[in-house]
């Protein structure tokens, strides 16, 4: 007795008109190259360019008022995490912890961006956080400390000095929180799932 093959020829599966027909779905294009190229890389470049400019043109702790009593450029070196967290920890603990956390964050964010099916608020936010994390990691790896220079304050009431990378991380986190509150845009809603 001869076995019947369950494999059908391609021509019998495709609708008339062959592979060029619009009804045949192709796998979705993943936007990670766009996100890396249009969001992550520009943030890293802007972050490093502004830090190098400040380092080359200002003395440490020099301050230039942009908007008196509100916004200054103040050159500082931050041995801690974002906004000077862990600045008082022993140097070897701080360095090991911060480098490990930064590398882990970069790997996780990279995977999340690569797995994104489309460009969305969340995927753009991940790309922003990745750019910020990479920018500050470059500082830690090269200088051992992060250059901070933006000082927002109201007279003597100070917000911690920050940089472009910190700003990208903060904006990215806010976008992720907003996307989670107002409906995730990466996952289909239960009533839309096929």
- DSSP letters for 47-58: HHHHHHHHHHHS
Residue 186: active-site member: no
- The one catalytic residue in 22, 47, 166, 185 is 166
Q: What is the H or E stretch that residue 178 is in?
A: helix 164-181
- The one catalytic residue in 47, 72, 139, 148 is 148
CA–CA distance, 122 with 186 (Å, rounded to integer): 7
Closest-CA residue to 162 (of 68, 56, 59, 85): 85
CA–CA distance, 145 with 147 (Å, rounded to integer): 7
Residue 22: active-site member: no
Q: Which two tokens stand for residue 18?
A: 């062959």
Q: What is the H or E stretch that residue 126 is in?
A: helix 121-143
Q: Give the count of alpha carbons within 13 A of 151, CB side only.
A: 23
Residue 4 CB burial class (10 angstroms; 0-12, 13-18, ≥19): exposed
Residues labelled catalytic: 148, 166
């Amino acid at each position: 007795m001869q076995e019947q093959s369950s494999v059908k020829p391609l021509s019998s599966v495709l609708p008339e008109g062959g592979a060029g027909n619009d009804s045949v779905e192709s796998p979705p294009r993943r936007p990670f190259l766009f996100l890396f190229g249009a969001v992550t890389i520009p943030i890293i470049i802007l972050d490093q360019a502004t830090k190098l400019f400040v380092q080359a043109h200002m003395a440490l702790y020099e301050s230039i008022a942009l908007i008196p009593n509100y916004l200054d450029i103040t050159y500082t070196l931050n041995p801690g995490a974002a906004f000077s967290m862990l600045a008082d920890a022993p140097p070897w603990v701080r360095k090991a912890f911060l480098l490990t956390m930064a590398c882990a964050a970069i790997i996780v964010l990279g995977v999340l961006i690569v797995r994104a099916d489309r460009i969305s608020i969340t995927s753009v936010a991940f790309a922003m956080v990745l750019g910020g994390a990479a920018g500050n990691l470059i500082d830690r790896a090269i200088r051992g400390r992060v250059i901070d220079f933006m000082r927002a304050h109201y007279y003597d009431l100070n917000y911690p000095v920050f940089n472009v990378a910190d700003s990208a991380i903060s904006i990215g986190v806010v976008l992720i929180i907003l996307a989670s509150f107002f409906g995730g845009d990466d996952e289909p809603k239960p009533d839309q799932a096929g």
